[in-house]
Amino acid sequence: METFESLVRAEFTPKNTYLNTASTGLLPARAVAAMRAAVESVAAGQPQDMFADVEAARASFARLLGVPDRRVAAGASVAVYTALIAASLPAGAEVLTAEAEFSSLVTPFHVRRDLKVRSVPLERIAESVRPGTALVAVSAAQSADGRIADLPALREAAREHGARTYIDASQAAGWLPVEADAYDYVSSVAFKWLVCPRGVAFLVVPEDFGGLDPVFAGWVAGEEPWNSCYGPVEAFAHSARRFDESPSLFSYAGARHSLELVEELGVDAIHAHDLALADRFRAGLATLGQEPVPAPGSAIVSVPGLGHRQPELSRAGVQVSDRSGHLRAAFHLYNTPADVDRLLDVVSG
């Protein structure tokens, strides 16, 4: 029986100390091989059925987030799905967000100038839901510094005031257990912690579609796509597939296998692995007199004032990010204690 370690080592062979999953996850060997085969099939004039890969990826993502696959739309962008949700809101509706949220989650609400967008500190978002709040939109884990939203408290506050909830799981899905059924809408890109190629994103919607209209629908949104190629789509899919974007097929050819690997490893096991490494880094920072942004339980660690060290770290073969002057390190399934110690060694000078 393969162990967590043996599965990971068979799939990932980074040539550096890669601690930048919050920007881009590494691709497993099985996904790279699948994409290569897909590209070669098209080059040979014998394209393989990559629409089957889309359906397999949709089903895998649904299992990871604990919902039926009929509630999952497949696309390429969180911003597009945010715009879909924004388009469903009536004029004057209030949208509550966290301060300094990731742009893709909030910009479409601001573009609709007839909406009232209110931003509060992340720690106050649950208590800030009030009568008249139509939607609360927040990331499960903050991109800039890894802080985790109190989603259970947010859910209860929204329920009390009749607000819908929209969760961006882009920095959570793949390492942090997320129960999508507890919220109205959940979106996520897959090229980070789900170790998929770019061009893959998902949206979970309620069984009744939550008031969404397929405003960007094309032929793939039809109940019978191949009979929906000409003229307006007459019958939209009876599932969330009505909200599909025309898929980036080569990306989905790889994503199917990336998501399969995440399922094999198990989110709970990945969660424990990632947090052990993040906590090792936090403990090491304390010995260096450095204090990260408080983000208990997060696989993302952000250290104020050290962002300027990013180029130096890169030259030393350690990949991290500079976010607004903070050094951001992200620890994932392919990382090891040796990676943490290497980062600490370079940071200490």
> What integer pLDDT is reported at residue 217 of this predicted model?
96
Q: How far apart are CA 32 and CA 13, in angstroms?
A: 12
Angle at 78 between CA 298 and CA 40, to 5 degrees: 100
pLDDT in tens, 137-166: 999 999 999 999 999 999 999 999 999 999
Q: Outline where 266-319 has alpha helix (H).
A: 267-287, 310-315
Mean of pLDDT over the chain: 97
Q: How far apart are CA 194 and CA 173, in angstroms?
A: 7
> What integer pLDDT is reported at residue 115 of this predicted model?
98
For the chain, the maximum distance between any two Cα atoms, rounded to a whole number of angstroms, is 66
pLDDT at 1 over 80: no
Task: Judge whether 31 and 24 are in contact, CB under 8 Å.
Answer: no
> What integer pLDDT is reported at residue 349 of this predicted model?
86
Q: Which residue from 197, 182, 178 is spatially nearest to 76, judged by alpha carbons?
A: 197
- Proportion of the chain above pLDDT 90, given as a percent: 99
Helix (H, G, I), strand (E, B) or coil at 139: strand
User: What length is written for the chain?
Assistant: 349
The domain segmentation of the chain, as residue ranges, is 4-27+266-348, 42-264
- Proportion of the chain above pLDDT 70, given as a percent: 100
> What integer pLDDT is reported at residue 2 of this predicted model?
81
pLDDT in tens, 198-236: 999 999 999 999 999 999 999 999 999 999 999 999 999
> What integer pLDDT is reported at residue 49 of this predicted model?
95
Q: What's the rounded mean pLDDT across residues 107-114?
A: 98
Q: What's the rounded mean pLDDT across residues 236-251?
A: 98
pLDDT at 287 over 70: yes
CATH 3.90.1150.10 for domain 4-27+266-348, yes or no, is yes
Q: 42-264 architecture in CATH?
A: 3-Layer(aba) Sandwich (3.40)
Q: Which residues of 257-270 are buried (b: 16+ CB within 10 A; e: fewer)?
A: bbbbbbeebebeeb
Q: What's the rounded mean pLDDT across residues 15-43?
A: 98
